[in-house]
Amino acid sequence: MTASYLRICDTSFDPEAEHKAFREAVGGAGAIVAFTGLVRGEGKGLTLTLSHYPGFTESQISEIARQAQARWPLVGWRILHRVGAMTAEEPIVFVATASRHRRDAFEAADFLMDFLKSEAAFWKSEKVDGNERWIEPRAQDITDKNRWS
Amino acid sequence: MIEILFFGRLGDASDTLRIDKPKDVSDTDALTAWLSKQNRTLEAELNKAGNRIAVNKTIISENTPLNDGDEIAYMSPLSGG
């Protein structure tokens, strides 16, 4: 089974099952770094809705993954990203990288997340108590991304 | 026929449009001007900074000729994942 792929999911996914499947697909790797991003749970009754541009978003993220592969010797990578409506504590993103030694996997996962948070073609709106607002990247997300240039 | 997609705040201002290319619209600048005339809410969003335009899923940085069958996407600033 191919270890490296991107999947945009319109329903919930199971990060633990993904981690296990990824580990089985990257035989020979000495290190796996897996990151799961969750919808923050502080806002009760919060709904987060993500939309994307089918075809465009996938090719943009695949290009970022190609850059990660060119930069670090990865045995494999996997990115899952939710779209649609989510509530607090649901997984929103899963990024896993595998390499022979730990540093490459750590750095590549960090790089992928920084680009996903600041550059990926998603549009996010948050609804709390009936009030909806669009969300844009925080200044910190841009600073984080610029560490890699 | 051209297809025009709107994302983010721009998507609140207009649904997807599948229209015959208006006669006097030959490039993206002209299309943006034409759209602004059709819909006041959309005009306000199109005038905001940070929007991006893609033609056939490629981001453009300057005025671009349009042909029948093109897909044009108007994107509000990205939120990231």
- For A79-125, write each residue's pLDDT tens digit: 999 999 999 999 999 999 999 999 999 999 999 999 999 889 999 99
Q: What is the pTM of this model?
A: 0.91
ipTM: 0.92
Residue A43 is predicted with a pLDDT of 64
Q: Please give, rounded to a whole number of angstroms, the shortest distance from the CA of B77 to a CA of chain A.
A: 7
DSSP A55: T
Tell me the per-residue pLDDT of B1-10, one tens digit each, with 9 for 90 and over.
Answer: 999 999 999 9
Check pLDDT > 80 for residue A9.
yes
Q: Which residues, listed in sequence order, are joined to residue A134 by a DSSP beta bridge?
A: A125
Domains contained in chain B, CATH given: 2-75 (3.10.20.30)
Mean pLDDT of all residues in chain A?
Answer: 93
Candidates A8, A36, A53, A145: best to mutate against B (most CBs of B within 10 A) is: A53
Which ranges of chain B have pLDDT less than 50? none
Provide the residue ranges of all domains of chain A, joining segments of one domain with +.
5-146
A122·B79 Cβ contact <8 A:
yes
Terminal-to-terminal C-alpha distance of chain B: 32
Contact B81 A141 (CB under 8 A): no
**pLDDT surpassing 90 at residue A38:** yes
Query: Domain A5-146 carries which CATH code?
Result: 3.90.1170.40
